[in-house]
Amino acid sequence: MRILILGIFCFFTFLGNLALAAYPEKPIRIIVPYKAGGGTDSIARGFVGAFSKAAGVDVVITNVNGGAGSKGIIQVMKAKPDGYNLILTGSTDIIGLSTFRKMPFKSIGSLTPVGGIYTTPTYVLAHKDRGYKTLEEVIEKSKANPGKLIAGIGGKFGAHDVLANAVNGYKNAGFRIVAFDGGAMLKKATIANEVDICIIHSPVLLNEVKAGLLNVIGTGGSLAKITYPPIQKTKTLRDMGIPADVGVTRGVWAPKGTPKDVIAKLEKFIEVATNSEEFKKFGNNFGFAPKYYTSSQFLDLLNLEQGVYTDIKGKFMSK
């Protein structure tokens, strides 16, 4: 009997190893936890072609909107950990939700980070008709009119919200922070001149900046590497005396428990796709060259960003 049981165990182990060796053998689904049209969605669609070629199978994007991104995160967290259900979103989106709200997931540990593909600072825009040239002048106006100037953000508890609260907190500014249902809705409101300032991840709306419709008036991190020279020297938060760096790295996560061999394969596919000429071309057109992070580098980045969010929360967003 013991020999029979051992034989059955070895047989199923063989089948499991065979399945891993064959991975992937069917389409991979990538969830983007926002509506189509936002920055994360645009990056995902620019990435999946190269990712599909690297993996050798079709890769399908599914937009799962709701709960400031949490609906899609939870769906992937509960998915079968077989490498066929992934999520592509911003590092700070997951960290923000779990830092500022009671969620059924943690920023680090509930999902397995596979790799980062695209990193950019969060920046501040204003419609040309507002006449603002620098964030500092708008801050002074907000102090004189507390609660009247609107700072539009793409959603609560993410990098946009953190930057807005850092400005209000460190500078005693008086912006009324209004959260939109994702970056796509914020884009529409900004173009329509419905907000005083727009806080969004660069290089979203860069075409409108190039066309002269919008002005870049501040940034959460250096824009030195953006592919539009006129805004490369934009003042950062630190230049203005705000001790914070705010940005986002879009990356890929898998459900916790995904086999290490599958994670290793996915990591390689992501590296190849991120460094492909196809994705580089997209990145340069979009505004920044892609930047690849291994799974361990991505995890280090998440830990660093967690520290920034915890600090801002403790100082300005706990009440």
Give domain limits for the chain. Answer: 2-120+248-317, 121-240
Q: How far is CA 190 from CA 117, 159, 161, 199, 215, in A?
A: 27, 18, 16, 10, 11
What pLDDT does 319 receive? 57
- The torsion defined by the Cα of 258, 262, 265 and 270, in degrees rounded to 10, comes to -30
121-240: same fold as 2-120+248-317?
Answer: yes
Which among 23, 105, 31 is positioned nearest to 64, based on CA atoms?
31
The C-alpha atoms of residue 50 and residue 280 are separated, in whole angstroms, by 10
Which residues of the chain have a pLDDT value below 70?
A: 1-21, 319
What predicted TM-score, i.e. pTM, was given to this entire model?
0.83
The C-alpha atoms of residue 114 and residue 127 are separated, in whole angstroms, by 38
What pLDDT does 248 receive? 93
Residues in the chain: 319
What pLDDT does 14 receive? 46
What pLDDT does 158 receive? 87
Condensed to tens digits (0 to 9), the pLDDT of residues 177-231 reads 999 988 889 999 999 999 999 999 999 999 999 999 999 999 999 999 999 999 9
CB under 8 A, 24+ apart: contacts of 12-20: 20/259, 20/261, 20/262
Q: What share of the chain is helix, strand, coil (3-state, %, to 5)?
A: 50, 20, 30
What pLDDT does 40 receive? 92
Q: What fold does the segment set 2-120+248-317 form as a domain?
A: D-Maltodextrin-Binding Protein; domain 2 (3.40.190)
CATH of domain 121-240: 3.40.190.10
- Under 8 Å between Cβ of 116 and 291: yes
What pLDDT does 2 receive? 57
What pLDDT does 5 receive? 55
What pLDDT does 13 receive? 46
Q: What value does the CA radius of gyration of the chain take, rounded to a whole number of Å?
A: 21
Residue 90's beta-bridge partner residues? 250
- Under 8 Å between Cβ of 249 and 301: yes
